[in-house]
Chains A and B, each alone.
Chain A
Amino acid sequence: MRVVILCSSPYSETGCAVAARLAQVGYAPVGALTLPSWDRKTLLRKIGQWGLRHSLHYAVAKLVPGKAANRQQVLNPYLERSLRHDGGIFRSLQEVSRAFGFPVMTCGDQNSPGAVAQLKQWSPDLAIFTGGNILRDEVLKIPRLGVVNSHLALLPEIRGMSSPEWSLLCGVPLGITIHFMDRGIDTGPVLLYREFAGAGDCDSLTDLRNRMISEGIELIAEAVAGLDRGTVSAVPQADRETDRQFFVMHERLKAAAMRRLKKGEFNPVAGRCDG
């Protein structure tokens, strides 16, 4: 099975963890295509998402070698199992690629002609999307089987952004779905899904998200192996027409989601979120 990784940054922990985990279970990528580390849009998005202080902290941890080497820690502690290796922690795709022997290419846009040509050259059976641009049809059609995404909610109930938080507020069970990507937002056929049982142990929404990302990576590894062995097949989503897309959640709603998490109310009744 020829697998490529699509990544939002060479320093993306999730991207590194997916690449490393797949290599650990015998599916070392044949290549990784990433957006640049200092892409202006990504940087601004991170600042918007995390705030300036946290973003600077992240940048220093990732880019100052001495600092990062001393700390030997990851932002998402649940990825440590995938990221740890003999010499320490994988901090970039380049480090993972050196360990497992696959090339890493950087592109400004994953839909650009250069990116398309590179993907075609790798001739992948499967691509794993861990972040980056909204992929156009041309890219989605390159891998023989398709492009796989790990979505942090059960589909088709919750599509789009802030999906664990929306699951909490809308009373939808928490879960992870591995699905093929198509032109819609999280509307592609489903490979695997799993309800997430660890919410009771989470002390924050970040903690919840980190645990779900980690579990999603395990599920990706299962899906890749299942596709390779022919034990997993894609099932089209029911109810494709209903608009179940959700968008980035405002902090005041996040506060409500957090209260529900703390109180252990995972199926509350106050909000309804249907299309």
Chain B
Amino acid sequence: MATTTIRVLSEVAGLLRAPQRVVPLFMKLASDDLRTTFEHRHLYSYATTIIPAADALQSVVGWILDAQRPDGGIAAYYSLLTGYSDSYPEVTGYIIPTLYDFDRMAGDTAARSAAERATRWLLSLQLQSSAFPGGLRSRGGDARPSVFNTGQVLQGLVRAHAETRNAEILERAVAAGDWLAAIQQGDGSWTGAAAYQGTAHTYYSMVSWALAQLADESGDQRHGAAADKNIDWVLTHVQPSGWIKGINLHGHPAYLHFVAYVIQGILECGILRRRDDAIQAAAKSAWVVLRKFETHKRLLGTYQADFKSGQKFSCLTGNAQMSCVWWRLFEVTSDLRFLNAALKMNEMLKQLLPLKGRRGVLGGVAGSYPIWGRYQPMRFISWGCKFLADALMMEQRLMRNFEASECA
């Protein structure tokens, strides 16, 4: 309680330090209030393209580039109260592939340069143990190793090596992968001091995805085996309802962001490791979420076990992640219903994207919709932008292929 109060007071104090933020804050509050009051979602919502994906993508990537700090890391968020945060290693790691993808798609060298600067910054953070630290890099930062952050940084390093063929990057990535494999528990999970809240989490399937990427890049199958072992453990948590238990966040509800992490990690790892069991489990869970979205034209911000109920705000990051999952499932299964839902989800997210506004707001993905929702309130968050950018790039690529095959 005291921690929460201190956090709220510190956020509000940010507004006192920079009163010019009052205008965008009230504009966002007013626009979300109006939208939530008058919006009516129905069966036909989002079935029409109103905002082109390319325009939205340009804005979202623009937000990410603006969020790069002088040290090379990407800020975690832009708060309507306190402005930009410090650099955040975890998201900087997994934003690197997004920046390279955008460079390849749009020929944007600024994105490539940003990815290179981000990589250099990440390498400077690697700990003696070869792990990467958790938390924001503020005032010296937290130097304790973190399993999840190491996994997400690994995604960036693997991609950076694939793009640059810089041997040092691969060497560092392999060392980080070795650290992850070394501290993995016998059952395939990660627990202990380097795990968030000291406990095992199924959303660490995202770490397995990174290890699977590393195994493909380095050819060293030890990391692939570690990924398989963790996925085996995660799959023991799959429920008949499609829910995957074991998110294990004490003091937080299961935000859609984490639910989507679990599914995305299993799916991507399953694809790389050619594991049908993992793909099927992810598809089952993703289909349950798809039905909820198609029926209600929204997903809840949090879910309880077996997707039974939750809080009514929208966790936009989780929505963007589910879009990515559905695009990938369409790629893997050719089931057009995944593509259909992903198109609609992207449309919903594009409609909630600020396409006007000042730096930090323009093109930003809010933590919650409405902005005062429980997940990252009053903030535009870089990982939300990353997943939306990924989803929009998948839309462009897969719809181009689909429409070309239809016209052939």
Contact = CB atoms under 8 A, between A and B. Distances in A.
Given A248-B43, A256-B406, A273 B336 contact: yes
A53 interface: no
Interface in A220-275: 243, 245-253, 256, 259-260, 270-274
B336 A271 contact: yes
Contact of A252 (B287, B333, B341, B343): B343
A249 B343 CA distance: 10
B343 A250 contact: yes
Interface in A60-77: none
A250 B335 contact: no
Contacts of A133: none
Given A248-B47, A250-B344, A256-B406, A274 B335 contact: yes
Which range contains the number of A residues in contact with the other chain?
Answer: 20 to 34
Contacts of A245: 291
A260 B406 CA distance: 8
A24 B396 CA distance: 52
A44 B40 contact: yes
Contacts of B44: 45, 48-49, 248
Nearest to B46: A250
A181 interface: no
Contact of B43 (A45, A166, A251): A45
Contact of A259 (B334, B336, B407): B407
Interface in B251-290: 287
B399 A252 contact: yes
B334 A271 contact: yes
A256 B402 contact: yes
A161 interface: yes
A273 B406 contact: no
Contacts of A251: 47-49
A45 to B, nearest CB: 5
A248 B45 CA distance: 9
Contacts of B399: 252
A271 B406 CA distance: 10
A245 B341 CA distance: 13
Contact of B294 (A170, A247, A253): A247
Nearest to A45: B42
B42 A41 contact: yes
B403 A249 contact: no
B89 to A, nearest CB: 37
Contacts of B403: 252, 256
A48 B335 contact: no
A62 B405 CA distance: 42
A40 B47 CA distance: 20
Would you call the interface of chain B mostly helix, strand, loop, or mixed? helix
B381 interface: no
A245 to B, nearest CB: 7
B184 interface: no
A273 B335 contact: yes
A271 B405 CA distance: 10
A169 interface: yes
Most buried by A among B42, B287, B347, B402: B42
Interface in A1-60: 40-41, 44-45, 48-49
Interface in B47-95: 47-49
Interface in B332-380: 333-337, 339-341, 343-344, 347
Contacts of A270: 402, 405-406
Contacts of B333: 272
A253 B335 CA distance: 13
B334 A249 contact: no
B337 A247 contact: yes
B40 A247 contact: no
B20 to A, nearest CB: 39
Contacts of A249: 47, 340
B340 A247 contact: yes
Contacts of B335: 272-274
A253 B339 contact: yes
Contacts of B334: 271-272
A49 B340 CA distance: 16
Nearest to A51: B48
B235 to A, nearest CB: 21
Nearest to A42: B42
Contacts of A272: 333-336
A49 B40 CA distance: 13
A50 to B, nearest CB: 9
Nearest to B343: A250
A260 B347 CA distance: 24
A243 B287 contact: yes
Most buried by A among B287, B295, B336, B407: B336
A197 to B, nearest CB: 24
B337 A48 contact: no
Contacts of A48: 42-45, 47
A133 to B, nearest CB: 13
A162 to B, nearest CB: 9
Contacts of B49: 250-252
A44 B42 contact: yes
Contacts of A273: 335-337
A247 B406 CA distance: 21
A99 B141 CA distance: 81
Contacts of A45: 42-44
A252 B42 CA distance: 19
Interface of B: 40, 42-49, 287, 291, 294-295, 333-337, 339-341, 343-344, 347, 399, 402-403, 405-407
19 contacts: A48-B42, A48-B45, A161-B43, A166-B336, A243-B287, A245-B291, A246-B337, A248-B47, A250-B46, A250-B48, A250-B340, A252-B343, A253-B340, A256-B402, A260-B406, A270-B402, A270-B406, A273-B336, A273-B337
Interface of A: 40-41, 44-45, 48-49, 161, 166, 169-170, 243, 245-253, 256, 259-260, 270-274
4 shortest A-B CB distances, which residue pairs?
A48-B44, A247-B294, A250-B343, A256-B406
Given A48-B44, A169-B336, A251-B48, 10 more contacts: A44-B42, A245-B291, A247-B337, A248-B294, A249-B340, A250-B47, A250-B49, A250-B343, A253-B340, A272-B334
